[in-house]
Amino acid sequence: MTIPYINQLGVVKRHIDRADRAIVEQLGQLGSATVHEAMGRVGLLKPYMRPIYAGSQVSGTAVTVLLHPGDNWMMHVAAEQIQPGDIVVAAITADCTDGYFGDLLATSFMARGARALIIDAGVRDVRILKEMGFPVWSKAISAKGTIKATIGSVNIPVLCAGALVHPGDAVIADDDGVVVVPAADAARVAAIACQREALEEEKRVKLAAGVLGLDMYDMRGALAAAGLKYID
């Protein structure tokens, strides 16, 4: 099967299969780094995607939107498809840093139950967004506004900041970045991530007590075998 992009221009998909709510919550508490490891180190958006303010840690199910450069018309179409617990993931058909999203759209998104916006472009009104407590991960901050002239699509698979996102996928975002987990894999990934997390606490205690990773992970033999030499 191919991702039939070219059949999906100008399309809004109303019914999507969302990842299980409880699993999504659990992934959100684990955080992007741990989930990304549990995924086998895939699924991460490029690191140029940064939070507009520090300290947020959210998870949700993806409502996707494909926009054109300098045109945010479809943001309003996407708003109607939001259900409580969703995170809007916005991709652009070309590189753009314009401010597609501000406090008015945020008010609307929040009223619909959205938890965050992930956008491979710019946003504005960032001081107000922070006051409203609506977190955004974006490529840029820009006062530059957009027009409403060309249609795109909502809830088709999109490529956002180097990652493929399907509607309904689990999205985990915090200060370290944004990771996407396919809905069908969410439970399995959460299980792996939990296991990983459990081990970390134990390790943390040992390391804090001064035990070296060299010994805790039993690395000295492998390092010597690889040819590492100590000199004075």
User: CA-CA distance, 224 to 74, in Å (whole number)?
Assistant: 58
3/22 with CB nearer a second copy: 3
Residue 65 Cβ vs a second copy, minimum distance, rounded to whole Å: 12
> What tokens appear for 40 in the block?
């086998």
- Please provide residue 39's backbone torsions phi and psi, each rounded to the nearest 5 degrees: -75, -5
29 touches a second copy (CB under 8 A): no
Task: Name the one residue in this structure whose structure tokens are 């070219």.
Answer: 6
Phi/psi class of residue 175: alpha, beta or left (left: φ > 0; alpha: ψ in -120 to 50)? alpha
Q: Is 198 among the residues that bind a second copy (CB under 8 A)? A: no
Binding of residue 41 to a second copy (CB under 8 A): yes
Shortest Å, Cβ 125 to a second copy: 6
Q: What minimum distance in Å lies between the beta carbon of 22 and a second copy?
A: 19
- Separation of alpha carbons 9 and 29, rounded Å: 35
Show contacts with a second copy in window 111-130 (CB under 8 A): 111-112, 122, 124-127
CB 184 to a second copy: min, Å: 5
Spatial distance between the Cα atoms of 12 and 35, rounded to a whole number of angstroms: 30
How many residues bind to a second copy according to rule CB under 8 A? 110
Binder among 20, 25, 185, 197 for a second copy (CB under 8 A):
185
Q: Which of 46, 83, 84, 195 binds a second copy (CB under 8 A)?
A: 46
In the complex, minimum distance from the CB of residue 212 to a second copy, in angstroms, rounded to a whole number? 5
Q: Is 203 in the site for a second copy (CB under 8 A)?
A: yes
**Binding of a second copy by 190 (CB under 8 A):** no
Q: 67, 117, 119, 166: which one contacts a second copy (CB under 8 A)?
A: 166
The three-state secondary structure class of 117 is strand
212 touching a second copy, by CB under 8 A: yes
Binding mask 6-25 for a second copy (x = CB under 8 A): xx-xxxxxxx----------
SS3 18: coil
Give the strand pairing for 50-51 and 58-67.
Answer: unpaired
32-35 long-range Cβ contacts below 8 angstroms, 24+ apart = 32/172, 32/173, 32/174, 32/176, 32/177, 32/178, 32/179, 33/176, 34/193, 34/196, 34/197, 34/200, 35/172, 35/179, 35/181, 35/189, 35/190, 35/193
Comparing CB distances to a second copy, the nearer of 22 and 211 is: 211
CA distance 101 to 72: 8
Residue window 85-114: x/- pattern of binding to a second copy, with contact defined by CB under 8 A: --------xxxxxxx--xxxx-xx-xxx--
Closest separation in Å from C-beta 174 to a second copy: 7
